[in-house]
């Protein structure tokens, strides 16, 4: 998973500053963003920001900026799930992770001896639920 580049972050913050939670169309966004770069790059970054959850597409041409805390939390959930799976795999233990963005929950299927440790990641913002794996992964 790739985090935002400096340019993507700058474009997101410009859109947030200009439109806040108001809907805007692609033309309005391009009027603003093409002051800093080409139209092609601006469209590409709008697509990336939408895919990563920083912009919400309401219809073919209309978008809305997602609040920073919500966007960053969604990015963090994906990151934690991927890092957990990679770290456990490199330690010789297989875990299965899935993410539910609507409830901000990471579901993990792991050996029972790891579930207590994995659930330490749970808090107010992100919820981590671990259940015992059906098969032994060791």
- In whole angstroms, give the CA distance from residue 134 to residue 85: 17
Give the pair of three-digit tokens for residue 106: 């990471």
Averaged pLDDT in 10-residue chunks for the chain of 138 residues: 89 97 97 97 97 94 95 91 92 91 92 91 93 67
pLDDT of residue 138: 46
Note whether 79 and 91 are within 8 A (CB).
no
- Work out whether strand 24-25 and strand 55-57 pair parallel, antiparallel, or are unpaired: unpaired
pLDDT of residue 135: 62
pLDDT of residue 119: 92
CA-based Rg of the chain, rounded to a whole angstrom?
Answer: 19
């Amino acid at each position: 998973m790739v985090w935002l580049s400096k340019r993507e972050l700058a474009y997101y913050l410009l859109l947030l500053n200009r439109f806040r939670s108001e809907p805007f169309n692609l033309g309005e966004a391009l009027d603003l963003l093409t002051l800093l770069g080409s139209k092609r790059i601006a469209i590409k970054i709008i697509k990336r920001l939408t895919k990563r959850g920083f912009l919400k597409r309401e219809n073919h041409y209309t978008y809305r900026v997602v609040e920073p805390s919500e966007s960053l939390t969604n990015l963090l959930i994906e990151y934690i799930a991927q890092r957990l799976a990679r770290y456990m795999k490199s330690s010789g233990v297989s875990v299965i992770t899935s993410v539910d963005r609507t409830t901000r929950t990471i579901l993990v299927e792991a050996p029972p001896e790891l579930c207590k440790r994995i659930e330490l990641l749970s808090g107010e913002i992100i919820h981590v639920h671990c259940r015992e794996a059906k098969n032994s992964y060791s």
